[in-house]
Amino acid sequence: MGASMSKTQETGAAAPRAPALPWTVRLYTLSLMSATDFAQRPDGTVNRFVFSLADRQARASAHPDGLGVVSADVAVDASRGLWARVFSPSSSRADPGAPALPVLVYFHGGGFTLLSAASAPYDAMCRRFCRELGAVVVSVNYRLAPEHRFPAAYDDGVDVLRYLGNAGLPDLGVPVDLARCFLAGDSAGGNLTHHVAQRWTATAPGPIRIAGIVLLQPYFGGEERTPAELRLEGVAPVVNMRRSDWSWRAFLPEGADRNHPAAHVTGEAGPEPELGEAFPPAMVVIGGLDPLQDWQRRYAAMLERKGKAVQVVEFPEAIHAFYVFPELADSGRVVKAIKAFMDAARAAQPGQLPDPSVTRTCDC
């Protein structure tokens, strides 16, 4: 019996318990997990019809919502289905004398294989970001795997920045500041945020300068099983090792393992990424009930080793994807933390933050 005893039992530590969540959050995460499990076929393809049953879509609207936000879909490259949804304050509520608004380019999560910029939770979240961050939000609908494997999503992210630099945004009725742009993303979108920023700042083309990046529980990994992955397996909702492994197989090149540099960026099983001098300050958001948290801490430590400004903000009771649920208190707190980060990055000199290399538990 001792041979089968878990590490938790061996050390006498209390086993982690499933988080206490509002019924609305439990219901949505259950439907999302069930749809994901049915959609992830054993042959590595996605049953998109099955997943669509749980993936409610929202339309762009030129009419202001209750937050005073309007939205429009912009075609970036119709030949490959690349587009973005742009959220902006209604011009009727804009202050003509107000300074130009920052632009936040956002990459949604979904393990590189699921969801879209039109998925209702992301549409609602980007509306909140637009209103509460005081920013124009450009939510990117990048191509999904396995139909479009690595590096398609990264190419799409870079091309959206190139499009903004060349064509700019449509007339929004409000001034925008493309010279100080922010990238943000959650889960797989956080992974995209890092790689797009790395690519963009390696060559720094065009008028777009990235002032900062926000990685919400970014999806990094490796062949190693981390303590958090083992401890929270079967306990934490949304992410488990089977779903995660399936997503990496769908996204990475055929035959690649999870130590591929797209997934593994922290140096334990390969070289650390080369980061250019212009690589921007980063904010890394970590949840204490997210199985991916160890990879996220290692990512922040890698940035510190390379001399990059990084702020780590921890929410000890947060599950993966907590930010899409406005009924969770941490969802409001993280928006305040992002706002503070963006304000500091806009005021600082390029590549610097007033308080770099900070790790803190958020009591925003």
- Which DSSP string do the residues of 256-323 spell out, in sequence order? --TTSTTT--SSSSSPPPP--TTPPPEEEEEEEE-TTHHHHHHHHHHHHHTT--EEEEEEEEEETTGG
* Residue 1, pLDDT score: 32
Query: What mean pLDDT is predicted for residues 117-121?
Result: 98
- Among 187, 244, 247, 331, which one carries the catalytic annotation? 187
**How confident is the model over 218-247, as pLDDT tens digits?**
999 999 999 999 999 999 999 999 999 999
Give 353 or 237, the one with higher predicted confidence. 237
The residues facing 138 across adjacent strands are: 86, 105
- Among 108, 148, 260, 320, which one carries the catalytic annotation? 320
- C-alpha dist (Å) from residue 123 to 7, 86, 307: 41, 10, 35
Query: What mean pLDDT is predicted for residues 275-304?
Result: 97
* Residue 94, pLDDT score: 61
Omega before 237 cis (within 30°)?
A: no
Asked whether the beta carbons of 98 and 88 are under 8 A apart, the reply is no
Q: Is the pLDDT of residue 69 over 90?
A: yes
pLDDT band at 3 (very low <50, low <70, confident <90, very high): very low
Q: Where are the domains of the chain?
A: 23-347
Q: Whose structure tokens read 């065009």?
A: 206
- 187 tagged catalytic: yes
**How confident is the model over 178-204, as pLDDT tens digits?**
988 999 999 999 999 999 999 999 986
- 320 tagged catalytic: yes
Q: Pairing relation of β-strands 82-89 and 69-77? A: antiparallel
* Residue 85, pLDDT score: 98
Distance CA 308, CA 210 (A): 14
* Residue 98, pLDDT score: 76
Query: What mean pLDDT is predicted for residues 283-298?
Result: 98
pLDDT band at 155 (very low <50, low <70, confident <90, very high): very high
Distance CA 176, CA 351 (A): 21
**How confident is the model over 244-264, as pLDDT tens digits?**
999 999 999 999 999 999 999
Asked whether the beta carbons of 338 and 282 are under 8 A apart, the reply is no
**How confident is the model over 100-114, as pLDDT tens digits?**
999 999 999 999 999
The percent of residues above 70 in pLDDT, for the chain, comes to 89
Query: What mean pLDDT is predicted for residues 295-318?
Result: 98
* Residue 203, pLDDT score: 84
* Residue 349, pLDDT score: 67
List the single range of 132-141, 172-181, 209-218, 305-314 with lowest mean pLDDT.
Answer: 172-181
Q: Whose structure tokens read 């494997």?
A: 149
Query: Mean pLDDT of all residues in the chain?
Result: 91
- Among 290, 294, 330, 331, which one carries the catalytic annotation? 290
CATH of region 23-347, choose from 3.40.30.10, 3.40.50.300, 3.40.50.1820, 1.10.3720.10? 3.40.50.1820
Asked whether the beta carbons of 215 and 194 are under 8 A apart, the reply is yes
The percent of residues above 90 in pLDDT, for the chain, comes to 80
Structure tokens at 354: 């007033």
Query: What mean pLDDT is predicted for residues 60-71?
Result: 95
Q: Is the pLDDT of residue 10 over 60?
A: no
Q: Is the pLDDT of residue 8 over 70?
A: no
List the single range of 42-51, 121-130, 164-173 with lowest mean pLDDT.
Answer: 164-173
By CB neighbour count within 10 A (0-12 exposed, 13-18 middle, 19+ buried), where does 229 fall? buried
Q: Is the pLDDT of residue 5 over 80?
A: no
